[in-house]
Amino acid sequence: MAQQRRRVRGFGFSGVHCGIKHGRTRDLALLVSDRPATAAGVFTRSTVPGAPVLVCKRKLKSGRARGVVVNAGISNVAMGEQGLRDARSMAGQAALAAGCSEAEMLVASTGVIGVPLPMAKVESGIVRAARGLDPDGLAKAADAIRTTDTFAKIAHRRRRVGERFVNVAGIAKGSGMIEPRMATMLAFVMTDAAAEPDLLRGLWREVTEETFNRVTVDGETSTSDMAIVLANGACGSRPLRSSRGEAARRLRAVLLEVCTELAKDLARDGEGATKLVTIEVSGARTSLEAERAGRRIANSMLVKTALFGRDPNWGRILQTVGAGEVRLDLARTEVDLCGVPVFRHGASTGEAARRRAGRRMAAPEIGIRVHLATGKARARFWTCDLSYEYVRINAEYTT
Amino acid sequence: MAQQRRRVRGFGFSGVHCGIKHGRTRDLALLVSDRPATAAGVFTRSTVPGAPVLVCKRKLKSGRARGVVVNAGISNVAMGEQGLRDARSMAGQAALAAGCSEAEMLVASTGVIGVPLPMAKVESGIVRAARGLDPDGLAKAADAIRTTDTFAKIAHRRRRVGERFVNVAGIAKGSGMIEPRMATMLAFVMTDAAAEPDLLRGLWREVTEETFNRVTVDGETSTSDMAIVLANGACGSRPLRSSRGEAARRLRAVLLEVCTELAKDLARDGEGATKLVTIEVSGARTSLEAERAGRRIANSMLVKTALFGRDPNWGRILQTVGAGEVRLDLARTEVDLCGVPVFRHGASTGEAARRRAGRRMAAPEIGIRVHLATGKARARFWTCDLSYEYVRINAEYTT
């Protein structure tokens, strides 16, 4: 039953071990729609993008795609012409095996930089993955795209959109950054809703901006980050065209739900994380200042170590906001930690509140609320704390 | 002899214990010229500046000052009107004790945020400090402005400027950020050179931009950061007016030497640091891109943990540059670690080079050189690695 609830009509999924990673770990995933689908993607803005990013951007100009082939273990970055050939070849093999045209097959890679893909292994993996495509295979696909992730990230919702029920399922991986710890943000969302390419593109940009773009573990953007949505219309509705109708609003809402769950899981599973931290900034002068304040809090090494140490340190929070040249009215600024007011009227609310907040910070989920009192703009971010384990994971690899 | 070499004619220095810190630790410094001096300062751009920052900015509009009184232990930030009264009162007491006008006395504080200064203790400390002013007291003053610094930072040079020899001495403190670990970047430089206020202001802006503004430990700017220069003309020259002459060029060069030494010491003594890291970016399209690339490398948690782990990880260096949307020509990009080329022609230079770089990274000073091959702009930064000790220092304080 649990698996059935994760189906999306017309989609098959698989995850296999092709041999890039050691042992029997799954390292190749395939996601395919049995019929044409519309598609949209958002990509890393890195000036050193991986070859798959370049290939997907080009293909998605059409607004249509049938599936994605993904490998984990090697990221296909900084490999020049060979990287592009390999990415195109992976997509071509997957299209052949899945029975669609090469132009409809997207490709993604995550893992070590600067190492060539073992194409023979990848190709034989693709053939097996295509043979194993399964409407109930989402968990295997989610498992196969992991690198340093400690758990597979899957979200699924079934909701009414217009006159039909639609399914939206997503998988994602995190969660630090790059070689040799092999992390990249990848997210793939599949729905049986029907939407025209332009509408889907617009919704996807908005939804990813509010979800994946609001997660930060260490302030880095990898060379391979991508988030892709495929909508195959298997629910039977006519394709949505306008973003103004109730149905589009509902589709947006369910995409938002799925992506929010995945985004929170990415932060929760940040390298070395012991806590999921939700940051709510309000009362900012502009959206940009709200976002800057939230991003600074989320990336501040001083805030993140304080969270790890369960230290209700409003001083570090306000200091990093101030350092970001964000306007605040200190006398009316408010800081709450885990629901406890710790800063009001330009000063600490006292030792008792501080101790209460400190006790609540032992929980695995922590909320930081900051009201800047200079306007009405808001922003929300998810992050994690900075622990000894983060340092260990990222420093341990020595030559 | 060593102490005599640190004299600056006409200046007296002292550092005493006034009782803000526990034990007998020095926590109050006084730096005073026995004659009028020109002065300039650069300050934090935080939107939550400490009261001393506001007071000094106002006083320095005149371009003249005789001295600075500094306390460590409490930063006088987020204290509203009381904070301003206390800062003005500290300066007033110090002026009275040192025999100059209040307008000529600057003030600085560093330490815990949101706690009132014990003004009675501060005042009695100021009286003792003024009594103890000593041409050889620079080391005591440098000691008294420390917070988490593991060593006092002093630099001194004697160089010919125009027809006379001038002395330039500086003290500074770092080195993480804020409450409760009580760190703020403060630097005070004294010279017996003679310079008109406008010239001094211009030189100081340039010199601090190339030195203190190129140090980053954790990417934070404190609420109290300031760097101040005082020039009392005791060398006997006529005041320099124009930045174009040879003498001004020489004064700039010696200020740069002193500030570079202090800046490197700030990075070397960053919280938890095991290594001083010098980052040289060249071949950038614009100065802004060079600076952004350097700053991103210096602040990247992934690069900093790799340095701690002696991992010659060019992938993380290029990834963070790329994520900063800095243009690079990957095929012609060069990365050297400790003088060893590790990335050329779009790829790793191989395992032997990697191992050689890794061995050299055991040294206490590490150089990173990145050539972006898209232009001619350069930038240099100093930083330190990210160790378990950084996390311990900043997470350990729990309620």
DSSP letters of B322-354?
Answer: HHTT----GGG-EEEETTEEEEETTEE--HHHH
Which position has the token pair 């006292």?
A350
Closest among A105, A12, A27, A13 to A67, alpha carbons compared: A105
Inter-CA distances, B310 with B3, B300, B316, Å: 38, 15, 13
Of B299, B319, B331, the CB nearest to A223: B319
- Cβ neighbours of residue B12 closer than 8 Å, sequence gap 6 or more: B31, B32, B34, B133, B134, B135, B137
Does any CB of chain B come closer than 8 Å to the CB of residue A223?
Answer: yes
Half-sphere exposure of A44 (CA within 13 A, CB side): 31
Q: Which of B177, B311, B388 sits opposite A319 (nearest CB)?
A: B177
Q: Does B180 touch chain A (CB under 8 A)?
A: yes
Percentage of chain B surpassing pLDDT 70? Answer: 95
Q: Which one of B47, B320, B354 has the shortest CB-CB distance to A399?
A: B354
Q: Which is higher by pLDDT, A382 or A179? A: A382
Q: Are B109 and B87 in contact (CB under 8 A)?
A: yes
Q: Which residue among A180, A219, A311 sits closest to B398, beta carbon to beta carbon?
A: A311
Q: How far is A270 from chain B (nearest CA, A)?
A: 13
Band of residue A398 on the pLDDT scale cut at 50, 70, 90? very low
Question: Which residue from B311, B354, B395 is facing A308, i.e. has the nearest CB?
Answer: B395
CA distance B291 to chain A (A): 16
Strand partners, B111: B73
Estimate the crossing angle of helix A51-59 against helix A80-98, to 10 degrees. 50
Instruction: Give residue A283's region: left, alpha or beta (phi > 0; psi -120 to 50).
Output: left
pLDDT of residue A114: 78
pLDDT at A181: 41
In chain B, residues under CATH classification 3.60.70.12 are 4-266
**Per-residue model confidence (pLDDT) at position B183:** 54
In sequence order, the β-bridge partners of residue B347 are B344
CATH number of A4-266: 3.60.70.12
Residues forming CATH 3.10.20.340 domain(s) in chain B: 276-395
Q: Out of A38, A147, A184, A320, which one is annotated catalytic?
A: A184
Pairing between β-strand B276-284 and β-strand B377-384 as defined by DSSP bridges: antiparallel
Cross-chain residue pair B315–A397, CB shorter than 8 Å: no
Q: Within the 98-117 window of chain A, which residues sit less than 8 Å (CB to CB) from chain B?
A: 112-114
Q: Which residues of B are less than 8 Å from A388 in CB distance?
A: 388, 391-392
pLDDT tens readout for residues A91-110: 999 999 999 999 999 999 99
B391 reaches A (C-beta below 8 A): yes
Q: What is the pLDDT of residue A80?
A: 80
Cβ of residue B225 closer than 8 Å to a chain A Cβ? no
pLDDT band at B23 (very low <50, low <70, confident <90, very high): confident
Give residue-wise pLDDT tens across range B56-78.
999 999 999 999 999 999 988 87
HSE, side-chain direction, 13 A CA sphere, residue A151: 12
Sheet holding B377-384, edge to edge: B347-348, B340-344, B334-337, B365-371, B276-284, B377-384
Contact, A393 vs A272, CB < 8 A? yes
Sheet of B226-231, strand order: B38-43, B226-231, B186-191, B164-173, B153-161
Please name the residues between 265 and 284 in chain B that touch chain A, using a CB distance below 8 Å. Answer: none
A196 touches chain B (CB under 8 A): no
Radius of gyration of chain B (CA): 22
pLDDT at residue A183 is higher than 60: no
The residue-averaged pLDDT of B30-43 equals: 97
Distance between CA atoms of residues B315 and A211, nearest Å = 27
> Which residues of chain B does A49 touch, with a Cβ-Cβ cutoff of 8 Å?
322
Cβ-based contacts of B180 with chain A (< 8 Å): 311, 313, 315
Pick among B43, B47, B179 to test the A interface (most A CBs inside 10 A): B47
Phi and psi torsions of A278, nearest 5°: -105, 125
What is the gyration radius of the CA atoms in chain A, in angstroms? 22
CB contacts < 8 A, A to B, total: 224
Could you tell me which of B263, B226, B230 has the C-alpha nearest to residue B43? B226
Which of B220, B354, B360 is the best mutation test for A, with the most CBs of A within 10 A? B220
What is d(CA B246, CA B242) in angstroms, rounded to the nearest whole number? 10
Q: Which residue among A331, A358, A395 places its CB closest to the CB of B308?
A: A395
Which H/E stretch holds residue B150?
none
* Active site annotation includes A184: yes
Taking the Cβ of residue B354 and every Cβ of chain A, the question of whether any pair is shorter than 8 Å is answered with yes
Please report the pLDDT score of residue B393 as a whole number: 82
The CATH homologous superfamily to which domain B276-395 belongs is ArgJ beta chain, C-terminal domain (3.10.20.340)
Specify the higher pLDDT residue, A57 or B272: A57
| Cα–Cα distance, A76 to A83 (Å, whole number) | 6
Q: Is the pLDDT of residue A3 over 60?
A: no
* pLDDT greater than 50 at residue A46: yes
Task: Report the amino acid identity of residue A351.
Answer: E
Task: Kindly report, residue by residue over B331-363, the tens digit of the pLDDT.
Answer: 999 999 999 999 999 888 999 999 999 999 999
CB contact under 8 A, A354 and B114: no
Tokens found for residue B248: 């001004």
CA distance to partner chain A, nearest, from residue B397 (Å): 7
Active site residues of B: 184
Do residue B388 and residue A390 have CB atoms under 8 angstroms apart? no
The pLDDT value given to residue B4: 53
Gap from A261 CA to chain B (nearest CA, Å): 25
Tens of pLDDT along A319-360? Answer: 899 888 899 999 999 999 999 999 999 888 999 999 999 999
What's residue B265's pLDDT? Answer: 93
Looking at chain A, which residue has its C-alpha nearest residue B360?
A399
Which of A256, A265, A108, A257 lies closest to A173 in space, CA to CA? A265
Q: B326: which chain A residues are within 8 Å (Cβ-Cβ)?
A: 47
CA B105 → CA A107, B94, B95, distances in Å? Answer: 66, 7, 6
Q: Which residue has the higher pLDDT, B256 or A399?
A: B256
Report the share of chain B in percent with pLDDT over 90: 75
Q: How far is B180 from chain A (nearest CA, A)?
A: 8
How far from each other are the two terminal CA atoms of chain B, in whole angstroms? Answer: 48
Instruction: Examine the pLDDT at A1 and tell me if it is beyond 70.
Output: no
